[in-house]
Structure 1
Amino acid sequence: MADILELPQAGTHPIAVQRGEHAHRIVLSSPPANALSVAMMDALMAALAEAAADRDCRVVVIAASGKLFSAGHDLKEITAHRGDPDRGRAFFETTMRRCAELMQAIVRHPRPVIAEIAGLATAAGCQLVASCDLAIASEEAAFCTPGVNIGLFCSTPMVALSRNLSNKHAMEMLLTGETIDARTARDFGLVNRVVPPEYLGTVVGKYVRTIASKSAATVKIGKEAFYRQAEMGLADAYDYAASVMVENMLARDAEEGIGAFLGKRKPEWTHE
């Protein structure tokens, strides 16, 4: 994925997009903090929309340049608006709503989204990791939700954490604000794999190739169904999942895949 294009955006928080075979790699490129300013979130939303519109894109990777994955919201930007006539209320609402839209765009994205974490992910940066479908971390990565330390409980990161971690583990991070290492994050369920830093890109690349080799239509159906059923009661979830299975069975790729399995041959996906 060597072709790097900077997306046009306002402000001084550029991202870069590397387009490779069946993948878009979105890189937060505003070190040292890679803060999720409004401009940064707008750029991420644009990059995600572009990946969704690209029929050749099968997987999205979100990574970062520098030592920090992301320090979360831009506190300097937030503080600058405390002098507004409304003490910043309108800007704070815009920031939080845009962040919520970004996290939901990742969950609702038609392609699997993988977080590639080489450094520290804090607050909304940790929320970004938790919102991705998969997360691969370097042994040097670390995670925290430190809002409680500065009088600002990490309530929006809590939404993503509580849907990935056990309640006890999520509350431990939220109440203490302490930093956990990558292996603890794996034990908590925040990341899938922890690898030596020199192998991070290689391992993420393997996940990309593995997922990209599947039927894109099937993966899209499965990702959407996973998150929708998770919000339902047991009986409703089974009713919904059964209906999804029926529609999936009628898809061309399911017919091809089952036929290939029975015929002991490699399937030829149409991605339909």
Structure 2
Amino acid sequence: MRVPVVQHTTRRQRARRRRALWTGGELLVTVGLVLLLLVVHQLWWTNREARRGAERKVEALEREWGDGATGDGATGKGSGDDGDSGTSVSAATPGPDPGSGTSTRQQAASTRQSSPSWSQAYAILTIPRLGLRVPVAEGVSKQDVLNKGYVGHYRGTGQPGQAGNFALAGHRNTHGEPFRYVNRLRAKDLVEVETRSATYTYAVDKTLPQTSARDSGVVRPIPRSIVKPGYGYSEPGYYITLTTCTPEYTSRYRLVVWGKLVSMRPR
């Protein structure tokens, strides 16, 4: 009976294969752990930190307004270029008097205009149905505004209570995800915007479930989709627009919710 002879080269080849398999397995485990940590960071940690920061900013704004202090984010000259058409409401603006015959729109139109500071929070957005209360900052920069858990104001669109379109953007997932459930809003749901001088209440009117990320028509003074012209308005008014990404966990399309101004209450 012949006994097979195992050569040293064969043993070395097998050892190398085992080491390669072991190293490959370790690399796969490491990559898996790194990916898991990234997911945890994006879906939990960024939400936690952004929400805490947004809550602190809301509290700071309330304290500032209560003290009557003048903050750059509320009424100061913006630090952006001179083409900024953003405005905020004068503290001297009178509220609508139900018995005077003066409409809410006329009162809102009489507000004095000044530019909010770039990327600074200057208003508070409250949506009772969603249990949402977050700061509104000038601009829609991810790093300076949206990733902080704030809602961003589209530069060049109207300001709260003004004729035209007060257009806002917010994350739907991660970084506080303030607009996670805006798809749950229905007609007549209320959306409130507080500034240093007044609280403006809008009522949800229409929803555009999905449109292109480049559909600029939805934030125009008379908002109307240029991708789906059947959605939007044809007459001037006092509008608010909420935009966010859709479907969830993607940024391919935009979900849009529109509302109309229904009341104005001075602080």
Task: Report the TM-score range of the alignment, normalised by the length of the smaller protein.
Answer: under 0.3
TM-score scaled by structure 1? 0.25
TM-score if structure 2 supplies the norm length?
Answer: 0.25
| Higher RCO (CA-CA < 8 Å; seq separation 6+) | 2
Of Structure 1 and Structure 2, the greater helix share is in 1
Give the number of the structure whose alpha-carbon radius of gyration is greater.
2
